[in-house]
Amino acid sequence: MRVLFVCLGNICRSPTAEGIVRARLRAAGLESVVELDSCGTGPWHVGEAPDARAQQAAAQRGIDLSALRGRQLQDADFMRFDYLLAMDHSNLSVLESRRPAASEAHVGLLMDFAGEPGEQVPDPYYEGGFDRVYDMIERAADGLVVELQDQLQDRLQHQSPQRPETHR
């Protein structure tokens, strides 16, 4: 399973989501079977570390974002990832407009996994609110991990070979 978190610049919301979900997957013993990444729809922060305020909000809760680096959404992401999860409607629109017809990826909003369909994670870059953003993403992360566990279980059940019947 592969999940891509998408925001505008890839220095606040999407790396925070990547860090939180990675920690949740580690706790569930699934870190090695689910690949995570994050990106921005814009090119402004390619190669940069997450915003210091996002790193601080995460570090206060035991999550280290310092190794992450910004990158921009690529067309290949639609074929590589199973889930492309946007932080807001604007970035979701970009995903929907760029999605190739052949892509089978789930494209949607992250907050849908918090049981809050249509809810957006606000961009804290100018207005602040990094702790609020962290809390929102945490709620969605829990629901997303449950979804991923269910999907992985379904895949295992469909891939496991049938035991041959023994005739006695």
- Is the whole model's pTM more than 0.85, yes or no? yes
Judged against a pLDDT cut of 80, whether residue 166 lies above it is answered with no
Catalytic residue among 12, 13, 37, 88: 13
Give yes or no: 150 in active site: no
Distance from C-alpha of 80 to C-alpha of 16, rounded to nearest angstrom = 21
Q: Whose CA is closest to 51, among 34, 36, 68? A: 68
167 confidence band (pLDDT: 50, 70, 90) = very low
Judged against a pLDDT cut of 60, whether residue 162 lies above it is answered with no
Give the pLDDT confidence of 78-129 residue by residue, as tens digits.
999 999 999 999 999 999 999 999 999 999 999 999 999 999 999 999 989 9
Q: Which domains does the chain have, with CATH numbers?
A: 2-159 (3.40.50.2300)
CB 18 within 8 A of CB 37: yes
Distance from C-alpha of 145 to C-alpha of 165, rounded to nearest angstrom = 36
CA geometry: angle at 33 spanning 164 and 138, to 5°?
A: 130
User: What is the reported pLDDT for 141?
Assistant: 98
For 20, the enclosing helix (H) or strand (E) is helix 13-27
Catalytic residue among 7, 51, 88, 112: 7
Q: What's 72's DSSP letter?
A: B
Give yes or no: 2 in active site: no
Rounded to a whole number, what is the distance in angstroms from the first to the last CA of the chain? Answer: 41
Catalytic residue among 51, 77, 88, 123: 123
The residue among 142 and 157 whose pLDDT is bigger is 142
User: Which stretch of 40-44, 83-87, 92-96, 155-159 has the lowest confidence by average pLDDT?
Assistant: 155-159
Give yes or no: 112 in active site: no
